[in-house]
Amino acid sequence: MEVRVQNVRKEFDRFPALHDVSLDIRSGELIALLGPSGSGKTTLLRLIAGLEMPTAGKIFFGDTDASEKTVQERNIGFVFQHYALFRHMTILENISFGLKVRPRSTRPPASEIRRRAMELLDLVQLSGLEKRYPNQLSGGQRQRVALARALAIEPAVLLLDEPFGALDAQVRRELRKWLREIHDRTGHTTVFVTHDQEEALELSDRLCVMSQGRIEQVGTPDTVYDHPTSPFVFGFIGESSELPVTVENGELWVGGRAIGLPAGDAKPGNARLFFRPHDVELIEADASLAGVVSTSRRVGGTRRVELEIGGAGHLVEVDLPFDHPAGEKTRLAFRPKRWTLFPAT
Ligand code: ATP
């Protein structure tokens, strides 16, 4: 099911949690809402679910205006961070719940409900545990049950609010891969809230980066990572360094010297150069970007070096070996191989 969020504003006691948000979610895609705490991700998810009503704007499910419809009418599957499983029900009863409470006219027969619940138990790889109670499962297993329960009603849209947020890093990574597989098999339109960049990049077809109640950028992981449209997105989506530069004669300048990078079609004047630590090479040179090694740490197969230049530290990932100790005033300069230029604010 396609979902269109159109010029939605949401205020809580006059506080605008969402300003004027529009987002087209494609049928069958897995889209991540990514942003720092308080950026409005959960509010947007709850509006799509029908748990909150917009102050202004509309939400369409397909061609139908869903703005006034309830959660049940929208047919939403929801998974929260804290496993909201029914403690007094077995796993099988939990999964069957949504179908059992349907009105008689749309409720499948008991045998069909059981068959479907067992099938889902198999899908989430928990066959054999149907008679257990939630407190007899691990956190990761409980979230699998929560997902099976959400899928049981054949939801038009599946909404997940930091579903792995309470789990440890390894279980989180496993469930991430697993969720992607399940999504590819079932094909539900899925909206996934996370503040974890890596999770969003790995899991989603597209991501929607939010900040302060606004959408900053929507795109595939590759587009958003490689072509961020704002300094905020550049810094939020991965590690970044920033250098104030001047654009002059079609080149970039720092401290009155050209640094050997073309300015493209940037306007003359001050600008902000952004780059990622792994997109930089170090060169031996007497250049304006030469600096002092402030820290040098080995991380896996590379070394991460912080070079201090003009009072600001810049993280650079270099190939081994690197024989300059911390504190050394080097004649090393760094040259970004890939970078993005934003206008100065
Ligand atoms: P987090 O990652 O911390 O969950 P979020 O991006 O999901 O953050 P929201 O929960 O959507 O952010 O909150 C957005 C803003 O709206 C916050 O400033 C929050 O304090 C405010 N807000 C959310 N719900 C309510 C509410 N029921 N009443 C008043 N303010 C609210």
Report the candidate in 51, 87, 53, 78 with the shortest Cα–Cα distance to residue 68. Answer: 53
Alpha helices in 187-331 (DSSP H): 197-203, 221-226, 231-237
- In angstroms, the CA 117 to CA 32 distance is 27
pLDDT in tens, 221-280: 999 999 999 999 999 998 888 888 899 988 988 877 788 888 888 889 999 999 998 888
pLDDT (0 to 100) of residue 108: 87
So what's the pLDDT on residue 288?
Answer: 57
Q: Whose CA is nearest to atom 21 of ligand 1?
A: 17
Ligand 1 centroid to 52 CA: how many Å? 12
Cα of 18 vs centre of ligand 1, distance in Å, is: 9
Q: What is the pLDDT, as a whole number, of residue 70?
A: 87
- Segments of the chain scoring below 70 in pLDDT: 83, 285-290, 310, 320
Give the list of residues 6+ apart from residue 109 with CB closer than 8 angstroms, or none.
none
* Number of Cβ atoms within 10 Å of the Cβ of 262: 10
Atom 29 (ligand 1) nearest CA: 12
Q: Which pLDDT value is given to residue 83?
A: 62
Which of 14, 42, 194, 199 gets mutated to test ligand 1 (max ligand atoms within 8 A of its CB)?
42
Residues 101-138: tens digit of each pLDDT: 888 888 888 899 999 999 889 888 888 998 999 999 98
Task: Give dist(CA 39, CA 195) in Å, integer.
Answer: 10
Cα separations in angstroms, 122 against 1, 23, 171? 25, 34, 19
Taking the model in full, what pTM does it have? 0.88
Q: Whose CA is nearest to atom 9 of ligand 1?
A: 40
ipTM for the predicted complex comes to 0.95
